[in-house]
Structure 1
Amino acid sequence: MVEPTVIRGRPFEWGTRTYLMGILNVTPDSFSDGGSFDTPDAALLRAGDMVGAGADLIDVGGQSTRPGAAVVSLETELDRVIPVVERLRKQAGPVGDAVISVDTTRAAVAKAAVEAGADLINDISGGTYDPEMLPTAVALGVPIALMHIRGTPQTMQTLTDYRDLMGEIREFLADRTQAAIAAGIDRAHIILDPGIGFAKNSDQNLEILRELPRVRSLGFPLLVGPSRKSFIGNILDRPDPKRRVWGTAAACVAAIVGGADILRIHDVAELCDVARVADAIYRK
């Protein structure tokens, strides 16, 4: 059993149930919902809907990480993220009490977001883009999710040639956990993500879902994000990401069977039902 992680005063009991991380992209150019929630008012309404539908965490991101996305300035990312985190934290009731994650690769954004009320750092680079990220997580005393990636969102889809896909993902994440521990991050504050869709092609994403136990065997909670991804669209011949909800549901069940602890998703209401039933079948 993986040691529980306490976030915002509540224990996350890994392995006992699936936790849902609702995606809140406050960007104009994210692959699925860019421009839909890029004002504080729209973001607040979206967060309320997701919490009401069963989200355990809200993941706020101000930099699109879709393939080929342009890098925004630090000031732009701060301007997008911090007002939303502040507004969320000031709300009364379940929204104001929600666990907030900040989806960023910049230590300065992570620091400002946590100071504004965020509880968790979600770094798609595994702490490799910014050398200050791991020390910042230590200083802030918050958990961090470390994801596998090659290259950057601008180059990653040209870097899908692996000798041993799962072995290399596992090696990268093992290395990043050791770096995090060496920096002073508590083991109970580390979450791992195999990076579905990041420097992987469609067949490789399916292999990750089949082989998730190899990543889970590292002994840390596992975050998986298949939501609306292009490999699902390829299988279903659905170019519109918003029409991939039930394909996403199938991928999420596979992730649960493979040991995923957190699912990062767009369609919270539908996937909440899916996760509850899958948990009843597969978790003991």
Structure 2
Amino acid sequence: MNPVDIAGLPVGEGHPPRIMGVLNMSVESNYGPSTWGDVEHAVEHAEEMAAEGADIIDVGLQSSNPKNPWQAVDTELERLERALEVLDAAEVDAVWSIETRYAEVADAALEGGFDMVNDVCGFADPDMPDVCAAHDAAVVKMASPPDIQSPGHLRSIDDCFAALARGGFTEKTIIDPAFGGWYDEKTYEDNWEMFRRLREFRAFNRPILTATNREDFLGDIADRPETEDQLAVSIAAATMEVERGADIVRTHDVPETADAVAVADFLGDRRAVESGPAAHDGDDEAGVHAAELTGVTPREVARNTLIREHDGVDPALAVTLTFAAGDLPEAAREELMAVGGEYGLLVAADDAGAVVSGDHVDAAGDDSEGGQGSSPAGEGTFVSGTLAAYEDALPELSGTPALEALTTTIREALERERL
């Protein structure tokens, strides 16, 4: 993803995922541990979060939870006065973010020292992009309808994708897919589906912020309906979010989330390279960024071709799916290999007569050096190929009962991965 600089803090490919700690200054916010009405305790909480690993402190001026009443711009401006007192008093080495839906509030906050804006209504206020650009400030655009009173009130991943695309971006826009509790519109199932498909949002080539901490759609999976019991499920989700492309993880639980994200980043598959300065339209400060996208699905390929011009190559020829099968009878294995070879599927099938011993494979019964602990070599069958190859081969394979489990799995994957 194209990196974004937030007051000297780089976010995006080539940089570690950042932790955004939550500091609510709205009396109606539902999660008590992150909510502070008075300046003194808000300062203490901000300093504590920064010490525990928060790279960004996100100050909320009203709740976006639909259970709570919507607040007009004047209320946010009044609360901003206290937020600016907190900013001035706190001694932290962190970026300050203001969560607001109003361009007027964003302008005043940025003028007063805030570094970035977290727009929970996704540019529903049409002046928001211009205000942020005028301050050269980063802005998070959350997927939302063009309604200042309805942050996040969307249902499907397609709705969220379209909302982010609507109205465009500034040069420093970070996207937020809008997970969460807008359950009149978005169900648990909708959130689960979007989580599984989070990588698709990489198509925008912009840093991604995720905010799933202590959400009920996670608690439901583990039968943890109460917010105070949802730390473990939130940590599990955070690790997967990083693996699937999150560059900022927003959380109420800074130290635990920071640890989990550090492990996920260190052991994960995020790979990127940035070249030295390169000339682009006379700008000798510009750099070229390249990243390997792991775990790419056919849907993600389709997303990219939908929002960009492309060379006309069929996406079915540009991405592979891989499957594993076990206990296939010898005749079924032979048929699978023959059909695979004909249609361009890579099939690696086990040989029941071979064993692995030491560093190499020998025929069964060969008492070679290193034979202690010998076991069947390469148990199971590995199949990999493009969508087009599977589609061509399936009619040939579908009539074989012993391959039914494999062909059913392949067919379901093809159906699931199409937009």
TM-score range relative to shorter protein: 0.7 to 0.9
Q: Does 1:276 align with 2:267?
A: no
> Which structure 2 segments of 5+ residues have no match?
272-419
Deviation at 1:242, TM superposition (A): 2.3
Once the two structures are superposed, residues 117-170 of structure 1 have per-residue CA deviations (whole angstroms, 9 ceiling, x without a partner) of: 111111111101x2221221122221111011247697679863xxxx323322
1:245 matches 2:236:
no
Which structure 1 residue ranges, 5 or more long, are not aligned?
none
Classify the secondary structure of the residue corresponding to 1:217.
helix
User: 1:231 deviation in Å?
Assistant: 0.7
**Superposed displacement of residue 281, structure 1:** 1.4
Conservation of the 8 A alpha-carbon contact between 2:43 and 2:90: no
> For the Cα contact (< 8 Å) 2:25–2:36, is it kept in 1?
yes
> Aligned runs of 1:250-269 on 2, under 5 Å?
250-269=236-255
Distance change in 2, residues 1:98/1:219 (3 Å) = same
CA displacement at 1:35 relative to structure 2: 8.0
Greater share of helix: 1
In structure 2, what is the Cα distance between the partners aligned to 1:167 and 1:47?
A: 36
Equivalent runs, 1:70-149 vs 2, <5 Å: 70-92=69-91, 95=92, 97-128=93-124, 130-149=125-144
Task: Name the SS for the 2:77 alignment partner.
Answer: helix
Q: Which has the higher contact order (CA 8 A, sep 6+)?
A: 1
Q: Give the aligned partner of residue 335 of structure 2.
A: none
Q: Partners of 2:187 and 2:148 in 1: how far apart?
A: 14
Match of 2:175 in 1: 192
Distance verdict in 2 for CA 1:35–1:100, change over 3 Å: closer
Q: In structure 1, what is the Cα distance between the partners aligned to 2:151 and 2:141?
A: 17
- Whichever residue aligns with residue 8 of structure 1, its letter is A
Cα contact 2:120–2:151 (8 A) shared by 1: no
* Aligned partners of 2:25 and 2:37 also within 8 Å: yes
Contact 2:61 2:100 in 1 (8 A): yes
CA distance in 2, matches of 1:137, 1:206: 32
The alpha-carbon deviation at position 77 of structure 1 amounts to 1.4
1:232 to 218, 222, 230: 218
Distance 1:171 1:148, change over 3 A: same
Is the 1:104–1:123 contact (alpha carbons within 8 Å) kept by the matching residues of 2?
yes
- Shift of the 82–158 alpha-carbon distance from structure 1 to 2, 3 Å rule, reads closer
Structure with bigger strand share is 2
Once residues 34 and 55 of structure 1 are traced to their aligned partners in structure 2, the CA distance between those partners, rounded to angstroms, is 16
CA distance in structure 2 between the partners assigned to 1:151 and 1:236 by the alignment: 34
Q: Greater Rg, structure 1 or structure 2?
A: 2
Letter in 1 for 2:245: G
- Contact persistence 1:209–1:254 (CA under 8 A): no
Letter in 2 for 1:82: E
